[in-house]
Amino acid sequence: MFPSESIVSNTLSSLLFYTVCLGMLLLIGVLIRVKVNFIRKLFIPASLIAGFIGLVLGPHVLGLLPDEMMSTWSGFSGVLISIVFAPMLIGVTINFQRIKETQTISQLIFSWNTSFLQWGVPLVITAILLVPLFGVNPLFGALTEIGWSGGHGTAGGMVESFNELNWAAGGSLGLTIATIGLLFGIISGVIIINYGVRKGYTNYLTTNDSLGTKESKDIYEPNEQTTSSVRTIRNEVVDGFAFHFSLIGVAIFIGWILKGVIDNFITGMPLFPLAMIGGFLVGLVLKRTSLYHAIDTSTFRRIQGISLDFLITAAVATISIPVVLEYFWPLLIITIVTMVMMVCFFFYFGPRLFQKDWFEHSIILFGTACGVAAIGYMLLRMVDPDLKSDAFIAYGLRAPFSSPFAGGGLVTSLIPVLTVAYGALVVGFGSIAIMIVIFVIAKAFGLYGRHENTYFINR
């Protein structure tokens, strides 16, 4: 099924008009982000601001936007998330020597196990408490990792999958949980950093330094501006963005073929992780041709960024407020549990996984596991302004082994399917068991335990 079939509007002109309106919302979000100081300090992205404006203007609040427009926007998520994931593995190179030097393996263990924690505990609580007490769908327990580690992009992209699994409420609830996680990541991250500075856990920021007084600029000065992509193919052949879009198109087409095969055996498998596999296959083929040198990963990142901004704006604007209110108490319980376990995970496992700069390595992963990569990066820059630690390098090196799978990738998309097939309790306890096994293996290889130079443990 092609994306246009999910659009309610009857003409391409209507689709263009609704897309233009979405762009206008995003521009308003940018203006608010740039001009309103307290929003800037909270690092709330413009796309999220724009989405909330659309939500207020929508049918559940002011009723100024037509239902047809909201229906069209709700169909954007499943389409745009495939564009985000399709190029993720095209042109990616891996430096194994740097992986060893920068504690990348420890970051992988941290990030993978936060996902297993966010799968396991909520699913078990859902099965044991929330299903019998509130009658929620067992899939409710799978939303935590989708919303927190996956973020708004993944939550929006899973809307279609939840519809196929006969639980339409999952889309709005996932986006709500993603918003809660994002705000918690920002607020709690700043609190944790202030606490860490006072306790002496940070290595590049002390109580004598000013925390958070150096504000980053939302708009670069002309002399500070840099290129965000490079030209790799002559314009008389094809525009560079058009070339990269064509590769994304091939990757998504392969994903459609894979989905058609998988749908014969598994219900509810979303397109976006299969598009990522398609991208991986495209990359393998291109490596054998001269076209491989025309790939610019920065151009792919720009295309992904555009898609993600429009995706988040559309997804948040179409949240069903009645559904959120209906699930208020289950949401409150799961939110409190997740908040507590994320803070405990940070302070207990962080200093035991990293032999050096445990706070810096842990804080960037904490921010990412609560919201998005930008939040993790923002928290790291607060404690390591000049990026003297290897935390950011390791963060980038771990991405090919983590992002395509957990935190919004292939495994994230499979958890709801497995929950329907085997039940929330089985998948929940299975996730916790895998997390424990990973820690046991890490302990056996000396990657987990008390480290002599970890101040936090040996005080």
Assess whether pLDDT exceeds 50 at residue 233. yes
Q: How far apart are CA 94 and CA 290, in angstroms?
A: 20
Which 8-state DSSP code applies to residue 60?
A: T
- What pLDDT is stored for residue 454 in this prediction? 52
Helices 328-353 and 169-199: angle between axes, nearest 10 degrees: 40
Which 8-state DSSP code applies to residue 48?
A: H
Enumerate residues 6+ apart whose C-beta is below 8 A from 238. Answer: 246
* CA nearest to 385, candidates 126, 204, 117: 204
Q: What are 174's two structure tokens?
A: 């996932």
Q: What are 254's two structure tokens?
A: 């392969």
Assess whether pLDDT exceeds 60 at residue 88. yes
Q: Coil, strand or helix: which one is 202?
A: coil
Taking all residues of the chain, what is their mean pLDDT, rounded to a whole number? 86
Q: Looking at per-residue confidence, does 459 or 11 come out higher?
A: 11
- What pLDDT is stored for residue 209 in this prediction? 56
- Amino acid sitting at position 454: T
Cβ atoms of residues 405 and 142 within 8 Å:
no
- What pLDDT is stored for residue 141 in this prediction? 95
- What pLDDT is stored for residue 4 in this prediction? 41
Give the end-to-end CA distance of the chain in Å, rounded to a whole number: 60
Q: How far apart are CA 69 and CA 25, in angstroms?
A: 13
Q: How far apart are CA 260 and CA 440, in angstroms?
A: 39
Q: How far apart are CA 442 and CA 109, in angstroms?
A: 8
Cβ atoms of residues 167 and 144 within 8 Å:
no
Q: How far apart are CA 24 and CA 219, in angstroms?
A: 19
Q: pLDDT tens-digit profile of 173-198?
A: 998 999 898 889 888 988 999 899 88
Cα–Cα distances in angstroms (integers) from residue 58 to residues 47, 68, 130, 140, 316, in the given order: 16, 11, 30, 25, 11
Stretch 35-52: mean pLDDT, rounded? 83
Identify the band that residue 76 occupies on the pLDDT scale cut at 50, 70 and 90.
Answer: confident
pTM exceeds 0.75, yes or no: yes
Identify the band that residue 437 occupies on the pLDDT scale cut at 50, 70 and 90.
Answer: very high
Stretch 327-348: mean pLDDT, rounded? 95
- How many percent of the chain have pLDDT more than 90? 40
Cβ atoms of residues 119 and 428 within 8 Å:
yes
Q: How far apart are CA 123 and CA 427, in angstroms?
A: 7
Q: Coil, strand or helix: which one is 1?
A: coil
DSSP-derived secondary structure for 215-255: PPPSS--GGG---SS---S-TTT--HHHHHHHHHHHHHHHH
* CA nearest to 88, candidates 177, 165, 157: 157
How do the domains of the chain map onto residue ranges? Answer: 3-209+235-458
Cα 91 to the chain's mean position, in Å?
Answer: 21
Q: How far apart are CA 457 and CA 428, in angstroms?
A: 30
Q: Which residues of 240-275 are buried (b: 16+ CB within 10 A; e: fewer)?
A: beebbbebbebbbebbeebbeeeeeeeebbbbbbbb
Among 31-45, 74-88, 207-221, the range scoring the smallest mean pLDDT is 207-221
Q: In this structure, which long-range contacts are made by residues 334-337, counting pairs with CB atoms below 8 Å and at least 24 apart in sequence? A: 334/122, 334/125, 334/126, 334/130, 334/140, 334/141, 334/143, 334/144, 334/177, 335/177, 335/180, 335/184, 337/121, 337/122, 337/125
* CA nearest to 317, candidates 150, 142, 84, 69: 69
- What pLDDT is stored for residue 398 in this prediction? 83
Q: How far apart are CA 27 and CA 307, in angstroms?
A: 15
